[in-house]
Amino acid sequence: MTATTPRSIRRRRSLAGLGAVALAAATFAPVGSGTAPAGAEVTLPAATFVATHPYAAAQTTATGRTIADLAVHDGKVFAGYGDYGANTGPITVTGYDPATGAFEPGVVADTEAVLNLREIGGELYAPSTDPKQSADYSASDPWRNVAAVGATHVFDMVTLTGTDLWMVGSKGNDAVAWRSLDDGATWTESLRIAPTAGGFNRFYFAGVLDGKLYVQNRNSSTGGTSSMVFDGTTWSPGPNLTASGGFGWAPQAFADGLVIHGAGHGYLYPIDYFDGTTSRSIRLGYDAVAADGVLYVLGEGSVEATTDMVSWSTLATVPADARSISVSEGVLWVGTADGGLWSASVSAPVAGPSLDTTTTTVATGSGKSPKGSGGQDKGSGKPTKDTSSPKGRGNR
């Protein structure tokens, strides 16, 4: 795909590809499908408005104003937002302090969007979804921009050993994974997969399970995926990690496996669970967060939780335009499509009667598939963006 490809054509191809692959035969229980035991009367806490994120709300597009990710770090609430389809940015990464009711100084990240926030080794990392110039990521304590490898995209960051750092994304048309063994001072390229059937490749996520690092390449032309597994020494081919057929986003450890949102970016989409061998879709939601042995899933107007993916409890009601969540010390934080920050006090689920987990099949063209967008990477020699990647939000 070249930079001269008409944007309207790229957008139509994106819709045809991702929607058909991911939703044609996806079967799972949507959030809110559960029912309380007969005769039970439950009064659910409702999230209340806390503040408007000044920098997200000031974005020039609806996509840019959507808080697509939330993370609590050092007692402050950080938001991910931006629109790399419209080439916006830079993005101000700042934390809301509940104690003062103010957004405290952070860093102006040199990227068009920050859509994934990762806490690693006591620091908060903000991968540059689409670097404007040369900052591959921003990191806290103290906040700074880091120009490390000149990536085209950095979609995720993790640690495998607890002492190393990994970045995954792309450089040029190739999917690339980089590793640092000295706290980000220097980086080496560990894995690169070039496209063999046209288009370009991307690693949209990285996940760690049982001492192994998992990545999954996706090609923009064919929509095909292939995973690779790093055992600490060598890379080898792995199984499919996303049963939903989605790109995959921000894996989190839960119940001896990985929970992987099918799309991220604030989309209502199947959430997958990978057990180390196979993947299956478990729920439909805008966001999923694993914390302290509990999995929280944001659906349409409510948040549910489970400790075993069998019994589900509805914990709170949230605004209809809620797109992201985070949970810390009994507080549920909610980010909305208009840059709003909400919260509710919640209790972790306890053992009890299971909710109804009747599965629902979502057909292709149901209106829940992510909407793709075009847009070109800026700068000399940069390839066209992966136009099959989720962009514009009116949903997650």
Return the pLDDT at 355: 38
C-alpha distances (whole Å) from 341 to each of 48, 54, 65, 82 are 9, 10, 12, 16
CB–CB of 100/75 below 8 Å? no
| Cβ atoms within 10 Å, residue 108 | 17
Alpha helices in 25-166 (DSSP H): 54-57, 62-65
Q: pLDDT tens-digit profile of 228-271?
A: 999 999 999 999 999 999 999 999 999 999 999 999 999 999 99
Contact between 82 and 115 (Cβ < 8 Å) = yes
- Considering only the C-alpha atoms of the chain, give the largest distance between any 2 of them, rounded to a whole number of Å: 65
Residue-wise pLDDT for 39-96, tens only, equals: 455 678 999 999 999 999 999 999 999 999 999 999 999 999 999 999 999 999 999 9
Do residues 283 and 243 make contact, with C-beta atoms less than 8 angstroms apart? no
pLDDT at 14: 32
What mean pLDDT is reported for the chain?
A: 83
Q: What is the pLDDT of residue 92?
A: 97
Rounded Cα distance, 359 and 364, in Å: 16
Looking at residue 313, its pLDDT comes to 95
Q: How many CA atoms lie within 13 A of 221 on its CB side?
A: 13
| pLDDT lower than 50: segments of the chain | 1-27, 35-39, 351-396
* Every domain of the chain and the residues it spans: 7-33+67-289+353-362
Answer yes or no: are the C-beta atoms of 108 and 90 closer than 8 Å: yes
Task: Out of 3.30.460.80, 3.30.930.10, 3.20.20.70, 2.120.10.80, select the CATH number for domain 7-33+67-289+353-362.
Answer: 2.120.10.80
Q: Given this model, what pLDDT does residue 348 score? A: 75
pLDDT at 44: 87
Q: Which pLDDT does position 349 carry in this prediction?
A: 76
- Global pTM reads 0.83
